[in-house]
Structure 1
Amino acid sequence: MKVLLTGASSFSGMWMAEKLAARGARVVAPLRGAPDSYSGVRGKRVERLRQFAEIVPECAFGDEKFMDLVASTPFDALCHHAAHVADYRSMDFDVVGAVAANTRNLRAVLEGLAKNGLKAVIATGSVFEQDEGAGNAPMRAFSPYGLSKGLTWQVIRYWCTIVGLPLGKFVIANPFGPFEEPRFGAYLVNTWRKGETAEVRTPRYLRDNIHVDLLALAYAGFVAECVEKREGRRFGPCGYVETQGAFAQRVAAELGPRLGLECGVRLLTQTDFSEPLARINTDLIDPAAYGWDEGAAWDAMAESYLHS
């Protein structure tokens, strides 16, 4: 199976590329920039990506070089994981510009791939989109970025229908693990390293946190299924479905003994309810069916912090 995977320098994208390759797929990973232009944790991911993917540098989705790649190379699957994310937390996020970048020349891309025998398209969605996952009404997007993801999906679905390509949607909730940008986990560990108690300001939010390697294993299996059956479906695998307060306590219980730290957690009274109270994925999975080891995943996460 030959896969064209966009967005492979991202946190989840790198893991997806690795697990696809482990299943025997040949992964071609176009990157917006040159490999040596990436720094920090993204630079480390790109360096790791070289081990299991063929990198095509300076090849953004829909640009001239990307179109040449599409025209000259047969692929079994287009895994469109890339998305415009600059200032994704901002309420001034450019929704229209993001959708345009995410879908540049999409019709021509799909027609070119179909001509060369493409079997399926797999688009990555987010549980933070409008009308996605399960949670409290109204099922609005979490943010302008989430809105752009939902609109991008609508454009992809439209053109796949017109071109006649099977389309699967893989919905991501909250992945965590090694090679992640500094976020909630890093805050917890850095606080504990200073001998302080970590405070959770939004303990009542019900969320769906999933180990990134388990997420990527599920993704690789989903891609293989879509290609083999030449049909698509929506698939949003669940991880730990619990409040953010409970998740913080879980991280403390798992990492404390592994890092040799006192991992105190204080749940504050939540006053910020600017996000939906509950939003989770809906597809329960059996991790054992993927050969996944939960303890090993926590070991790997602890190891990543020991060397950071």
Structure 2
Amino acid sequence: MEQRESGGMKILFTGGSSFTGYWFCRQLLEKGHEVIGLLTQKRENYEGIRKERVERLSCEMELIEESPFGSEKMIDLLKKGTFDVLCHHGAYLKDYKSEQFDWLYALETNTKNIKQVIHLAKEQGLGAIILTGSIFEQNEGIGNVPLRAFSPYGLSKGLTFEVFRYYAQLYNIPLGKFVIPNPFGMLEEKRFTFYLISQWKRGNIPAVQTPHYVRDNIPCDLLAGCYGRFVEKVFVQKGPFYRSNPSCFVESQGAFALRLSREVSKRSALSCPVELKEQKSYAEPLVRVNAEPAIFEVQEWSEERFWDDYVAYALEHY
């Protein structure tokens, strides 16, 4: 299948309300593609930062409510029209940090009616599938071996990939796996960087409890730039399987906290001290990172501009 006369592709996207999903949709739209997003619930039911992301995207693309992966609404949509690419970014996340995370239910939700979905999409001329993976799943990235899943959530993501790979091969549809490390930036959830900056704004000294973990923190816009290029590559080149493992700041969490401190203090009146605690717990692998420097893929990206925009946003909103 060739790209449309306008030069853009028609993309069906799940998971646009998430932090990275929002940036991926934005990137695909900026590259001239038509993106239709599937929401798992009604727009009015989203709250907080997810609501803001959904509202922003609704100004630029069509969003279909109550249409999780494999739902009747999604299947009806596939019956009515042809999509060039299916980007399955959404995943079941409830209690994803907990050891009680229901990995089996997550797998069922992530792959619901997958045979029917892919069979129908293939009949309609689907050109590629892009599945989002996580550095937290088994057999991903580089680091301490064996490369085990970090958690039941990571396990569910790895199993989801195996199911998609099986059906993509069965129906001879090109499959791309885009593996996300630790993204941060504007419109993020209240995680590590949010904690640090919000503490500095209050005049407190934030503590890093696990400074020795070596992780791969990547700015959201740089990650999105890699994603947009990867989607186009998989669609155009038509190979059976592709993988992308974009990487940026590979360093200990203590070093990354100090990096953030420098960048925020340069752009504000805040002193941004950090307390690096003695790490006592090593429940997770010491090292787990991606291996492909993202700046080589998105050479026009400006680190200085990212920090300018991110720090200004964080100081206003956190």
**TM-score between the two structures when normalised by the length of structure 2:** 0.95
Structure 1 residues 41 and 287, CA, compared in 2 at 3 Å: closer, same or farther? farther
The one of 290, 293, 305 aligned to 1:281: 290
Length, aligned pairs only: 308
Quick check: 1:178 aligned with 2:186?
yes
Contact 1:33 1:57 in 2 (8 A): yes
User: Match for residue 306 of structure 1?
Assistant: 315
Contact 1:236 1:282 in 2 (8 A): yes
The Cα of 1:194 is off from its aligned counterpart by: 1.8
C-alpha distance in 2, partners of 1:233/1:164? 14
Contact 2:226 2:298 in 1 (8 A): no
DSSP 3-state at the match of 2:17 = coil
C-alpha distance in 2, partners of 1:216/1:249? 25
> CA RMSD of the aligned region, Å?
1.1
C-alpha distance in 1, partners of 2:266/2:122? 52
DSSP 3-state at the match of 1:272 = coil
Q: Deviations over 1:77-136 (max 9, x none)?
A: 011101000000110100100000000011111111111111111100001001110001
DSSP 3-state at the match of 2:79 = helix
User: Match for residue 256 of structure 1?
Assistant: 265
The Cα of 1:214 is off from its aligned counterpart by: 0.4
> 1:60-209 counterparts in 2 under 5 A?
60-209=68-217
C-alpha distance in 2, partners of 1:143/1:271? 19
The one of 17, 32, 45 aligned to 2:53: 45
Q: Deviations over 1:44-63 (max 9, x none)?
A: 11011113321111111101
Contact 1:168 1:226 in 2 (8 A): yes
DSSP 3-state at the match of 2:177 = strand
Contact 2:84 2:126 in 1 (8 A): yes
Contact 2:86 2:129 in 1 (8 A): yes
Q: Deviations over 1:260-282 (max 9, x none)?
A: 21100111110010000000001
C-alpha distance in 1, partners of 2:273/2:15? 36
User: Which runs of structure 1 show a deviation greater than 3 angstroms over 4 or more consecutive aligned residues?
Assistant: 287-290
The one of 47, 59, 63 aligned to 2:67: 59
C-alpha distance in 2, partners of 1:268/1:60? 42
C-alpha distance in 1, partners of 2:199/2:214? 23
Q: Deviations over 1:151-194 (max 9, x none)?
A: 00000000111111110100000000011110111110111112
The Cα of 1:293 is off from its aligned counterpart by: 1.2
Quick check: 1:26 aligned with 2:34?
yes
Amino acid at match of 1:76: D
